Structures are given as structure tokens and as C-alpha cells.
Chain A
Amino acid sequence: MTAPTGERDELVIAGDEDVVRVRQVVRGFALRAKLSLVDQTKLVTAASELARNAVNYGGGGQAVVELVGNGRRVGVRARFADDGPGISDVELALTDGWTSGSGLGLGLSGARRLVDEFELETEVGRGTAVTITKWAR
């Protein structure tokens, strides 16, 4: 179990400029959690992918970024939620190179590799929420 350490930020993600803002906020949290430069970059990039998906496929949504601790380590957790169409075939969506649009199809699968914890909840017609966590080493 992890206990939140209190610091938390909520952002609306509707367009390109919000994706940039999410990246900046996540980087701020990553710095406070003292993530290494490589881990900061990985987390920020994963956040960028998920925020972008929420805009591109989910019609916009919300991001919650927080500092978390599990007694041993601190980390950053970010959740990206939208009320979009949901993902009907999760396995396919997580396949490297698969895209329903014209992307590289590496956002979801790549983001999963970039972080320590990755949780995807989705329901067709209801929306999608992806939660990622990166722990300081």
C-alpha cells in the first residue's frame, strides 16, 4: 500500500498546450521526488503520451499528479482520465506499432515500459483512465 504524501495537482487536458503544461507539472513533481534525470525524462515522456491520447482519442480529460510514498521510497503518480469512447481491444491497443489513427502506435505500450507501475482501466462508451507511477531509486 502507498500513502499519499499530500502534494497533488489537478489539470484539465483539452488541447496541445495542456499536454505541454502536464509535462511541465509532472517534471516539477519528478524533481521534488528526486527522480534521476533519466527517470524524470521517462516519466515526463510517458505522461506526454497519455495526455496526448486523452486529447486525441478521449476528446480531452483530466490529469491528477501527486507525490506518493510507500514507507520506503517516494515517487510520482499520475492519472489520466477521459470520458471518451473507451478502448474495445486493450491487448491490441497495447501492441507495439498498432494505431487506429496515424500515430506511431507506441504511446501506450511505450509508456508502460517507461514507468514502474502501469494500470489501464477502460470501458467502451464510458472512457479510459491510465495510472502510472515512477519510484525514486
Chain B
Amino acid sequence: MTSEASASLIQDGARVIFQRKDWSKEATVGAGKSLVISKLKIKTDEVIGLPYGTLVELNKQTGKFDRVEAVEEDDFADIEFGEAGGDNRNLVDTGTAQGLSTGEIAELKISGVKGMELINNIVQNSSTFGDRQEYGKEKYVAKKKEKHIYRFRILRPTLRLACDVYSSMKVNKINHIRVDTLAIMLSLSNIQAGSKVLVVDGVQGLLLAAAMERTGGTGKIVHVHPGPQPIIPAYDLFGFPDSWTDTIHHLSIDNLEVVSSHVEILPKGEESMETDGASSDGPVEPPLKKRKLNALQTASANYMKENTMDALIMASRHHPKSILLFLLPFLSLSKNFVVHCAYREPLVDTFQALRGLGSVLRICLNDTALRYYQVLPSRTHPENSMSGSGGFLLSGTTVEKGAAAVVEKEQESVPEDGKEEE
């Protein structure tokens, strides 16, 4: 088997996404590893060696995944309906409309009738089904489908799928970042292979993962994280190679001040040294504050002190203003920053602070809307519910803070070195 072919097969210990139309979940699969879906614990041994993209269905008896053949997911939305506009004047909800009893449905399931087939059975046995109006029918089928189908596609993680995973169950953990807001952040920040990126990530490592995916392990990332240790499940779900992860410098926000020139970093040294470490370093210039750091944090801080960065992206629970103002000087000139916030007021506040700086150009505050569509013959319409907000984005470009106004005045009286023409 060629390495390319084997790379397209799911390996033991792989990080994968289990994707359903409306819901996705990340998991590590492999021998002895299991995953919990709807309170059911499912063994994942079975999926090792399957090609990525394989469809599996949960078999509730065995607690394992069965491989299923690809049928067009939408088929079953397609089959039962004619055009929109059914007549529901005779629909009376008697509670007896479903011809199959719960017991019978269970029996069908036990007899091994699978997903699609099961739905069709239920649909055929529902006496009121044909009477329901189009909208009602879709909802009806959607409900049935939700209840009965445990079918997933196993996929390699991508940013798009990571957004799906978080938006289907824990969107508050990523501050309501949505696939479109993340996508726009990545464009505006101009992150690319080789970029040195400053990432302030209070969103489970999702921004860190995004920066890594787009630099492909060929750049450098300084990751400013809340808390003493980085907690980055959204980054971990990608299973990036170690050599890529080595391009990250983690720096706790608690230590952020150490990158300022007013702070001197002292090595933490051996445990026993810790107490006398500070006192032994007696007389230094008073404005220098001293901080003890461990080796890794020191390396991160030193990296920031010695380099200028190509991009800054930020999404955090902290109010963005002071952090952004503190970090902007670490960007090179003519580089871009983008800040995400779930609320607009902190960004309005930050916007106003930036406007006065003179070292930032093209300051923009945006919000975005994202709407999904059902596209079916004669039944195309926007989805019945949509995400209310993906948060707000504040972006800008760093420039030199020259006293241009003064130069300009001089310019009028003194014709100068020809920077300007005729």
C-alpha cells in the first residue's frame, strides 16, 4: 500500500470528527477507545482501517458502529413529498395518527431495519402524513430522523468541522465565534505559511488551531492563554504533528507583563533556589520590576522581546482594549490585527481608543450574518432558524506613528527632499 493510500485510512489513535447533518462530535478512535453519543457508550475499534469519509451507523444492540453504504442523505427528504402547498384542513391531531406503536417501532429496530428504511416505514404508517402541509412534513420527518438515525460520516478534522463541533454543542465556550467570523478573521489577519502570529486565545485553542492550520507548522505562534496552563481542546482535536506544535510559544496572560521592557525576567531555577533567588539579586535600577518565570514561559517572553510579529488575532473573555493596546507594538509595521468579541460595547470602546493612537489605520468594526438554505426541487427556502450572532470583529493595520501633521505644515513653506512631486 502506498503511503498516500494508507494516509487516507483511519489509523489507531487518530483524531477524527463524527459528522451528522446537524451535529458533529470529535473523538480519538482506536483500540479500546470509546465515545459517548446520546448517553450511549460506543466502541471505536471497528473504525480503524476504514477510509476517511466512510459512513457508519450506530448499532444499538452491539454498541458498535456498522459500516453502511452511502445513500443520498437528502433522498429521504425528497421521496415523500410533492410540491409545497399541501392542504391541512382535515388534519386533526388525535394522538393515534401514527399507525405503528412505540413497541412496533422498537421491534422494527430490533429486527435490524436500519435508518432510512425505518423512517420510510414510519412515514408510510402515519395516516395523517399526507395531509400535513409541506412545512409540517419537513418538521415531522426531521423529528423522526433526529430520533432514529444514528448515522455518521467519519472525517479528518478541518477548521470548518471544528466550528461545526463547537457550534452544535458548546458555542459559549468559544465565545460564539462562528465559521464565518473565524473565516473573516483569517482573511483580514493575512495569516499564511511562514507567518509569525500572535494569538490571544480564550476560546479553547480554536484560534490557535486556526493559526496553525494556516501556517502549516512553518511559522511561529505566540499563544497568550488564560490561566497558568494552556487548555486547548479545540487545538488538540486536530492532532497536529509534534514538529508543528513545537512552533508554539505559550505565554500565560498572568505573565503577559514580562514582555514589557520594564520587567526583568529571572529564571525560576531549582526549587530550593526559589526563595533566595529574588533577594540575592540585590540592587538594580528601581524602574525594573522583576518576575520569576519557568523556562518555557521565559522562552516565550524572550521570543516576543526579540521579534516582531506579522499578525495578531484575539478572541478572549478579557476586555480587549488594554491587551490590544499592550500588544500592538509587537506587530511589525503594515501588519493586521483582528479582535473578536461576543459583545459590541467592548469593541466600541477599543475602537475609540485606537482612533486616537495615530499608529493604526483602517480601523473597522463589523458584524456578520450567516444564513443556510434548504435547496430542494420546488421547496427551496432559508432554514427555519439561524444563528443570531457570530460576534463582532474589530480590525486594523499598524502604521508608523509619525507627527505627519507637523511635517505637512513645514512642507508648505520648505520645499523638501523631493518626497513629494511637482
A and B held together in a complex:
no
**Residues on A close to B: CB < 8 A?**
none
Interface residues of B (CB under 8 A from A): none
